[in-house]
Amino acid sequence: METTDRDVDEFLAALPDDVRDDMTKLDAVIAAEMTGLPRRLFEGRFWGGTDQQIIGYGTQVTTRSDKREVRWFVVGLAAQKRHLSVYVSAVEDRQYLSEKYGPELGKVKVGKSSIGFSSTADIDLDKLANLVGRARRVSEA
């Protein structure tokens, strides 16, 4: 997966109607907490082997399980086939923030560094903003 030069706002505007509003709302919440940090579109094959388009906010160097270092986003946002995903790469006390705080957001499915949900109606956007703000602070420490 690589960063692209594609404009994130144009990417959002081109999304199908059924996800555009939610993705735009989520982008606004995340971007407000990540003001001044890079906001880029990542495209390509994700670690799990699926092709993805992810809006990445902030930058950090992450060491993968194969010991290779990659430049990665602190927070990511993607529209999947049947749900939306927020990825939180920040770790605090050896635990991903998404695992620690994701369940507090509402009707979500939490993975190691991901939070999946059907729509913004299923989550508390204020709590998401708090989680993103915490991810920023942890990644800058």
Query: What tens-digit pLDDT sequence spans the chain (141 residues)?
Result: 678 899 999 999 999 998 999 999 999 999 999 999 999 999 887 666 677 899 999 988 877 778 888 778 999 999 988 899 999 999 999 999 999 999 999 999 999 899 999 999 999 999 999 999 999 999 987
Which value, in Å, is the radius of gyration of the alpha carbons in the chain?
A: 14
Task: Please report the pLDDT score of residue 46 as a whole number.
Answer: 67
For residue 33, the 8-state DSSP code is H
Q: Quote the CA–CA distance of 141 and 137 in Å, as a whole number.
A: 6
Task: Please report the pLDDT score of residue 47 as a whole number.
Answer: 62
Task: Please report the pLDDT score of residue 1 as a whole number.
Answer: 67
Q: What is the DSSP string of 68-135?
A: -EEEE-SEEEEE-SS-EEEEE--EETTEEHHHHHGGGGBS-EE-SSEEEES-GGGB-HHHHHHHHHHH
Q: Considering the entire predicted model, what is its pTM?
A: 0.91
Task: Please report the pLDDT score of residue 23 as a whole number.
Answer: 98
Task: Please report the pLDDT score of residue 97 as a whole number.
Answer: 96
87, 96 contact by CB (below 8 A) = no
Task: Please report the pLDDT score of residue 127 as a whole number.
Answer: 98
Q: Tell which CATH architecture fits domain 2-140.
A: Alpha-Beta Complex (3.90)
Task: Please report the pLDDT score of residue 69 as a whole number.
Answer: 85
> How much is the mean pLDDT over the chain?
92
- Contacts of residue 126, defined as CB under 8 A and 6 or more positions apart, other chains included, come to none
Task: Please report the pLDDT score of residue 72 as a whole number.
Answer: 81
